[in-house]
Amino acid sequence: MTIKDKVVKIIAEQGMLNVNDITQTATLKDLGIDSLAIVESIFVIEEEFNINVPFNANCPEESNFDVSSVSSIIKSVEKLVAEQV
């Protein structure tokens, strides 16, 4: 399973959605995912990939972890995973 597939699966599980309903261009708001589910998703992503996500739930726009869309989350996770190597 690729990073993309794992991230989409996590977002789907936390948002109680079907994986097939999640597109790369969708925002979490488009998917109906609230701030609590976003934070929970980030916790699961950290555990799944053994990374530390620099995310400020109170001001996500000031974070180094972009949660503006599904594709941006995937890119942010890929970057953090690559930095571990």
What tens digit of pLDDT does each residue of 6-42 get?
Answer: 999 999 999 999 999 999 999 988 999 988 888 899 9
Domain range summary for the chain, segments of one domain joined by +: 3-84
Question: How would residue 63 be classed by pLDDT, with cut points 50, 70 and 90?
Answer: confident
Q: Give mean pLDDT, residues 32-55.
A: 91
CATH number of 3-84: 1.10.1200.10
First to last CA, the chain: 18
Backbone angles phi, psi at 28, to 5 degrees: -65, -30
Q: Give mean pLDDT, residues 55-68.
A: 73
Taking the alpha carbons of 24, 10, 14, 51 in that order, is the dihedral positive or negative?
A: negative
Question: How would residue 73 be classed by pLDDT, with cut points 50, 70 and 90?
Answer: very high
